[in-house]
Amino acid sequence: MKTTRLILAELGHRKLNFALSLFAVAAAAACVLGVFLLLAVHDARTEALLEERRARIEKRGKALQDDMRKITKGLGFNILILPKDQNLAEVYTDGYAAKTMPEEYVARLAGVPSIKTIDHLLPSLEQKVTWPELKRAVILIGIRGEVPFVGRKQKKPLLQPVAEGEVVLGYELHNQMGVTKGDTVTFMGRELRVAETYSLRGTKDDITLWISLPLAQEILDKKGRINAIWALNCNCHSVEMLAEVRTEVQKHLPETQVLELAGKATARAEARKRAFEDAVAALDAEKRSRAQWRRQFQSFGGVLLPVVLLVCGVWVGILALSNVRERRTEIGLLRAVGVQAGRMTTLFLGRAAIVGLLGALLGSLFGCAAGWIGVQLLAGEQADSLASSALASLGMPVLVVLVCAPILSALASWLPAQHAGQLDPAAILRRD
């Protein structure tokens, strides 16, 4: 007969002792797995939550990029190409460049098919002058309309050119003169038809008049010269891409410098960027908060588990001692038929190990089932995926419990098992 058969038969016979021992081990196993399960559920929930937020932020980021494109289009997230020797302080002070560069530069830039970051090129000649007929200072801007990129499909122009013999007037100017579209005004002795009048903008545009570039070059005696190329509607997805535009322009026009123009657009872009960064920071804060909860729970588990294991261990040990006392006669008989003391100890340790294994199995089943039900009740919509991923991560802890529980149960029963081996069979069997 095998020892295992004897142990299993005895376990089946002394049901109460077996059930109580089993309960103690199962409770300890379930407790251990419960801690792991809670951590796994927390991790899975954290992962799902952060993934959802990451997706939301990513979506928001994409929307932001889209916004940026719209802003740059609407507000002119644009750049200004100036002569290289132009002092920028003067540009900021005067509002235009005093130095000039060849008008041919714009054609050169438009002839580069590899330039992708700019959609519209607008050469201009700008200077503050006195309108003699009005006796007031105005800003004269000569424009020739957009210069199309060679080989690129013509886009709808952002700015219309001013035709020869026409003028576009800012608010202050047409208001002062009381002229409207179609009227004729005299500028430096030249009769010009008013092609457009702008409403109040609250900028220097209000004291600006736009005429054709050749006329401006003639009036200012700067034939074939311009002092700026407006690169409009740059395809910048973020403010950082300005550097890319600058590199690209300066590669082909080394005698120029590139200036960012539209601060308003930048401000909005920066504000959106900050909002995006705030969202990312909030995500990081959430991550830290959940990580902190995890650490605290781990610490709690670190205290709880040893206490549970100790209590269950003592309980298993007491039940093992009770079992030994109950089986004194049996021990005497087994010793009488030749079972050695060491074998007797092994018999009781084997019993404890089997109880440990069965308890671990039961505790694992109970722990997983309780965890499953708990997650289903508490986790709402994500319950199935959370429970699945949490349970899937329990493989190793379950294995550890199945290996460790029999060992710990045997250790808890060590003293009673030793006692069983040391019992004197003669003292048990002697009647008289």
Partner 1 sequence: MSTVITLENVAKTFAGPQGPVVALGGFSMKAEAGEFIAVRGPSGSGKTTMLLVAGGLLRPSTGNVNLLGTALYDLTPGQRSTFRGRHVGFVFQEFHLLPYLTVLDNVLVPSLAFPIDSARDRALEVLGRLGMAGRVRHKPAALSTGERQRVALARALLPRPSLLLADEPTGNLDGANAKIVEDALTAFTRDGGSVLLVTHDDRVAPAATRTIELLPHEAT
Applying CB under 8 A, which residues contact partner 1? 1, 3, 5-6, 9-10, 12-14, 329-330, 332-343, 425-426, 429-432
The answer for residues whose C-beta is within 8 angstroms of residue 169's C-beta and 6 or more apart is 177, 179, 185, 194, 196, 197, 198, 209
Q: Which is nearer to partner 1, 160 or 329 (CB)?
A: 329
Q: Which is nearer to partner 1, 120 or 335 (CB)?
A: 335
Work out how close the CB of 3 gets to partner 1 at its nearest, in angstroms, rounded to a whole number.
6
Work out how close the CB of 9 gets to partner 1 at its nearest, in angstroms, rounded to a whole number.
5
Q: Which is nearer to partner 1, 1 or 89 (CB)?
A: 1
- Are 77 and 68 a contacting pair, CB within 8 Å? yes
Q: Which is nearer to partner 1, 346 or 413 (CB)?
A: 346
Q: Which is nearer to partner 1, 67 or 330 (CB)?
A: 330
Work out how close the CB of 336 gets to partner 1 at its nearest, in angstroms, rounded to a whole number.
5
CB-hemisphere CA count at 13 Å for 364? Answer: 19
Q: Which is nearer to partner 1, 66 or 326 (CB)?
A: 326
Q: Which is nearer to partner 1, 13 or 153 (CB)?
A: 13
Q: Tell me, what amino acid is at 251?
A: K
Work out how close the CB of 297 gets to partner 1 at its nearest, in angstroms, rounded to a whole number.
44
What's the sign of the alpha-carbon dihedral 425, 427, 430, 431? negative
- Are 265 and 75 a contacting pair, CB within 8 Å? yes
Q: How far is CA 110 from the centre of its chain?
A: 40
Q: Which is nearer to partner 1, 303 or 337 (CB)?
A: 337
Q: Which is nearer to partner 1, 16 or 377 (CB)?
A: 16
Residue 14 CA: distances (Å) to CA of 295, 333, 361, 370: 43, 18, 20, 28
Of 430, 414, 416, whose CA–CA distance to 326 is shortest?
416
Work out how close the CB of 425 gets to partner 1 at its nearest, in angstroms, rounded to a whole number.
5
Work out how close the CB of 316 gets to partner 1 at its nearest, in angstroms, rounded to a whole number.
20
Q: Tell me, what amino acid is at 166?
A: E
Work out how close the CB of 431 gets to partner 1 at its nearest, in angstroms, rounded to a whole number.
5
For 153-160, the CB contacts below 8 A with 24+ separation are 155/119, 155/120, 157/120, 158/120, 158/232, 158/233, 159/120, 159/122, 159/232
Of 349, 413, 324, 355, whose CA–CA distance to 12 is shortest?
355
Work out how close the CB of 351 gets to partner 1 at its nearest, in angstroms, rounded to a whole number.
12
Work out how close the CB of 430 gets to partner 1 at its nearest, in angstroms, rounded to a whole number.
5
In 43-135, at which residue ranges do the beta strands (DSSP E only) sit?
79-83, 101-102, 120-131
Of 120, 192, 184, whose CA–CA distance to 158 is shortest?
120
Q: Which is nearer to partner 1, 87 or 329 (CB)?
A: 329
User: For residue 70, which phi and psi values (nearest 5 degrees)?
Assistant: -65, -40
Work out how close the CB of 342 gets to partner 1 at its nearest, in angstroms, rounded to a whole number.
7
Residue 155 CA: distances (Å) to CA of 150, 151, 229, 306: 12, 12, 18, 74
Of 39, 35, 81, whose CA–CA distance to 290 is shortest?
39
Residue linked to tokens 């997983």: 368
Q: How far is CA 55 from the centre of its chain?
A: 7
CB-hemisphere CA count at 13 Å for 314? Answer: 5
Q: Which is nearer to partner 1, 1 or 396 (CB)?
A: 1
Work out how close the CB of 347 gets to partner 1 at its nearest, in angstroms, rounded to a whole number.
8
